Each structure stands twice: as C-alpha cells, then as structure tokens.
Amino acid sequence: MNSTTISDEELDRLARRRAAAKLGWYAHATVYVLVNLFLFVLATKTGGHRWSVYPAIGWGLGLAFHGIGVFILGPGCSMRENMVRRERERLQRERHGSGS
C-alpha cells in the first residue's frame, strides 16, 4: 500500500489511463490476428513458400513488447509502483539527510 493517499480524481484518471492502454493492446491484438490470417490465406492460395510466418513473427514480437508495457510495466502496475515507491523513499532519504 502506498504511504501517500490518492485522490478520487487521480484514481479515476489512472483507471481511465490503464483501461485505455489495455483497450489499445486488445485492438492491436485483434488487427494482428486478422491481418496475419489474411496473409496466411494469401500465402496458402499462391502456393510455394510459407512467407506469411515472417511478418507474423516480427509483428508478434512488437505485440509482445506492447503487452509487456501495458500489463507488466504500465502505470499503476505493481512492479512499476514498487519501483516508484522505492525511488521516492530513496530521494526523500537523500533530501532529509543532506538538507537539514
């Protein structure tokens, strides 16, 4: 739990920001699936080498990094909040140790 209190407005702003980030990832994932299905069908119909796997891998990595940013490192996520809390405490110790 944070040592600072969060106002209702800040809490609402954070909730809206996190929801928008998650919706953005879901839209990204939906477009990824639809486009790569189209590319797979196109590659299958034209025969020969299955080239559609290459854009799927490249784009899939981008989608994975986007997901990490949203669900693991995004605003309000526990890992990020713990890092912010520790950094805030360290800065406060430095300020109080050298300021007075």
Query: What is the reported pTM?
Result: 0.71
Find out whether 67 and 27 touch, Cβ atoms under 8 Å: no
> Would you place residue 62 in the very low, low, confident or very high pLDDT band (cuts 50, 70, 90)?
very high
**Distance from C-alpha of 95 to C-alpha of 89, rounded to nearest angstrom:** 10
Tokens of 31: 């477009």
> E-assigned strands of 3-89?
none
Q: What pLDDT sits at residue 72? A: 86
Averaged pLDDT, 56-71: 95
What's the pLDDT tens digit per position in 16-61? 988 999 999 999 999 999 999 999 999 999 987 789 999 999 999 9
